[in-house]
Structure 1
Amino acid sequence: MSASQLGTSKKRTWSEVNRSRKEEKRKWREINLEKKLEKQKQKAKTKENQLLENKEHSKSVKPFSTLSIAVPGSILENAQSAELRAYLAGQIARAACIFQADEVIVFDDYAEEAGVKKAKFDDGKGEQLARHSCVQLGRILQYLECPQYLRKSFFPIHKDLQYCGVLNPLNAPHHLGPKDGFIYREGVVLNTPVKAEKGSVVNVGLLKLVRVDKVLVPGIRCTVKLLPQDSNNKKLKGVVVSPLLPRSDTGIYWGYSVRIANSLSKVFSQCPYKEGYDISIGTSDKGASVDNFECPKYKHLLVMFGGLQGLEAALENDNVLDADDPSLLFDYYLNTLPQQGSKTIRTEEAILVSLAALRPKLNPEYKLPIFDGSSEEFSENSNKPDVENTRKESISAEGTQDKADDMSRFDSD
């Protein structure tokens, strides 16, 4: 090193060195600040786009006409064994699904009978005490309506469900498999920690979990609409929608709800629709012939079936209703199978016969779009969920993958 170079290096004092370091720090602070501001702008823009996207995807539910059927729970008491009781309930569930019933009401045709065995039933709005046969029928109906991959989350081991594993499956449209590409799915909210400004994680029966737009209570059932996906993300994206939206939007049948009424009168008084049932139809061999029936337009239709002793016994046991003739309770009192060959028609048979006879005559005010499967796939510009991963990865992700109706764990007593 030359003398001149040594001279120049000695000229820098400590104050000059500190000053230069401070300038460098200031420049780095400015660069970091610019980066932070850019990130905040990008975050705000992304959030705004998500809100607009969610509003676009969360359509309001269009009104549509509904069909409700009311069945007495006492029909299970006429079955000779626990296996036959379960099978009878399965037949009613199948009939409700085949004819696209929106609501199944299980009513107690013996009303508040003293000393009868009672049980608790949860219809999603709260628990209530009811006759055990009504509760068992309602519970099996709920179990069969629930998609298979959600059953472990909502139905713990119970004696009422002991033989449900051998029942015929409903095979309803919302019972989707991991490779089905429909945009709506039923799911359960997982107990996964929620990050800031992000929604809950939901298991919808796919090989990937779904991150929704809202923070929900863990353990509840929800309906999710899947959004266009990015294949690089570990989780899919979706928005929580009304359980009525899939049916309203596409016309696809999306299952039924189950309600228990402790008497005949409560079938009407506890109706979930604000304006009640527009048309009520009672079925009996003493009614008018269905051949001459002309159905007026309706928003909400109720079809009621009697038990072993018919609707007459249900009316007689009800302390609230003051009528003597059950035909006075309904807008129409119909015999859905005139000139029947058997002296009696069982309730599970009457449901199939009656709904088949009424179906071509129904006149709903709000008609649903005909589901042709065209909305079954995702849009061409979006990626489908990755369904090619192994089933083992799906099970290890959250441990929530359901096995196919394994009922062998139920107690034998």
Structure 2
Amino acid sequence: MAQKHLSIFIPASIIAETKDLRIRTYKVGLIGRSAAIYKADRIVVYSDDSTKEEVKFISDVLTYMNTPQYLRKKVFPLTRELKNVGILPPLRTPHHPTGELSLGDYRQGLTIKRTKKGTMVDIGAERLALCKEKLSVNKILSFKVEKIAKDNILIVPDIPEFYWGYKTISTYKNIYQSIRMLDPKPDLVIGTSRYAEPITSVLDEVKERLKGSKHTAILFGGPYSGLHDLISDQKEREVIDLEVNTVPSQGTKTVRTEEAVISTLSVFNLLSNAD
């Protein structure tokens, strides 16, 4: 079965409601955790009248979360923006291993230096591993463990077929432009809105569209502007294939974006796996 892909679009304005860095970090952490639970491959952070600093903050926190613990200190300098990352929930995905290294394991590794034999890579083991290929230095890549000996660990570049975390894309563009520039292009774009048809009334159509989609993109609005405000031009709205309300009969006046993400992804996960 061909692997299906899922991208979610998040507005940078989700953190505009507060200046508190701890709360901002926590809100972004909820989105990263939700994306990992429901196997989103990409998180696209778009600008909806937000600042470049807000876009970058969200992107940096999401990228930090997705980076294996054993590489974080080497990749991320301690900055004011990342001082609260200790409150982030762990992803506990396959690329964040907690056990001993075993033959056949997949690991993400940071390329440290090139030698005559190849490239030395930090994969979170007691010593650096050797990849016999000449690779660019200071890059995080994925590898498979081919040999574990007393004097060396041999690895080869490889990406597993199972879920391997998400990629964060910060576009600094509006949502319409962000959709158009996504590569590979989604073949099904779903908008979420409280003004749309309740998903319960279009379940069969949603299930059928999901079944035929290889790359689904789900769009979320922000605390100040919903999708109808962000994509108001009729021609631009044609980029959306389907629009649904995934929290019908909500008990609160508003549903925050981070709440909408986990609610929506939960619904679509059930529909994607239904017979």
Query: What is the TM-score with the length of structure 1 in the denominator?
Result: 0.61
Distance 2:99 2:70 in 1: 9
Report whether the alignment pairs 1:226 with 2:145.
Answer: yes
Where does residue 94 of structure 1 map in the other structure?
Answer: 33
* Partner of residue 307 from structure 1, selected from 217, 222, 235: 222
* Residue 271 of structure 1 pairs with residue 149 of structure 2: no
Match among 113, 116, 136 for residue 217 of structure 1: 136
What code does the residue aligned with 1:102 have?
D
* Change in 2 beyond 3 A, CA 1:239/1:346: same
The structure richer in helix per residue is 1
Cross-structure match for 1:335: 245
Match of residue 11 from structure 2: 72
SS in 1 for 2:65: helix
| Equivalent-residue separation in structure 1 for 2:247 and 2:90 (angstroms) | 28
Q: Which amino acid aligns with 2:26?
A: Y
> What is the root-mean-square deviation in Å for CA atoms of aligned residues?
2.0
Aligned to 2:65: 144
SS in 2 for 1:175: coil
Matched ranges for 1:40-55 at <5 A: none
- Which residue type is aligned with residue 70 of structure 1? F
**Offset, 1:223:** 0.9
Alpha carbons of structure 1 residues 285 and 199: separation in structure 2 relative to 1, 3 Å? same
Deviation track 1:141-174 (CA, whole Å, cap 9, x = no partner) reads 0000000111122211222211112222222221
Structure 1 alignment gaps of length 5 or more: 1-61, 111-115, 118-130, 317-321, 365-413
Cα-to-partner distance string for 1:307-335 (whole Å, 9 max, x where unaligned): 0121122225xxxxx32895x43111000
Q: Is the 8 A contact 1:178 1:206 kept in 2?
A: no
CA contact (8 A) 1:312 1:325 kept: no
3-state secondary structure, aligned to 2:81? helix
Query: 1:226 is paired with a residue of what secondary structure?
Result: strand
> Which amino acid is the alignment partner of residue 204 of structure 1?
I
Counterpart in the other structure of 2:124: 205
Deviations along 1:218-260, whole A, 9 cap, x unmatched? 211111111133x34x11111112xxx31x2xx2x21000111
Aligned residues: 265
Identity score, percent: 31
Task: Give distance in 1, aligned partners of 2:64 and 2:43.
Answer: 13
For 2:251 and 2:101, how far apart are their aligned partners in 1? 44
User: Which blocks of at least 5 consecutive residues in structure 2 are unaligned?
Assistant: none
Q: Which residue of 1 aligns with 2:157?
A: 240
1:174 paired with 2:95, answer: yes
Which protein has the bigger strand share? 2
Deviations along 1:386-409, one digit per CA (max 9) or x if unpaired, are xxxxxxxxxxxxxxxxxxxxxxxx
Stretches of 4+ moved more than 4 A in 1? none
Partner SS, residue 134 of structure 2: coil
Q: How far, CA to CA, are the matches of 2:197 and 2:178 in structure 1?
A: 22
Rg (Cα) greater in structure: 1
> 1:14-413, aligned counterparts within 5 Å?
63-110=2-49, 117=51, 131-177=52-98, 179-181=100-102, 183-191=105-113, 194-195=115-116, 198-229=117-148, 231-232=149-150, 234-241=151-158, 245-246=159-160, 248=161, 251=162, 253-261=163-171, 262-273=173-184, 276-291=185-200, 292-293=202-203, 294=205, 295=207, 296=209, 297-308=212-223, 309-316=225-232, 322-323=233-234, 326=237, 328-362=238-272
Contact between 1:153 and 1:219, CA under 8 Å: does it hold in 2? no
Listed one character per residue, the Cα deviations across residues 196-229 of structure 1 (whole Å, up to 9, x for unaligned) are xx21111100113211120112211111111133
| Distance in structure 2 (CA, Å) of the matches to 1:301 and 1:214 | 35
> Contact (CA 8 Å) 2:62, 2:168: kept in 1 or not?
yes
Pair 1:357–1:63, CA change in 2 (3 A)? closer
The corresponding residue for 1:376 is none
Contact 1:176 1:205 in 2 (8 A): no
Q: Which moved more, 1:143-152 or 1:179-188?
A: 179-188
CA distance in 1, matches of 2:136, 2:155: 16
Aligned to 1:405: none
Mapped contact 1:95–1:352 kept (Cα < 8 A): yes
**Greater mean deviation of Cα atoms: 216-225 or 355-364:** 355-364
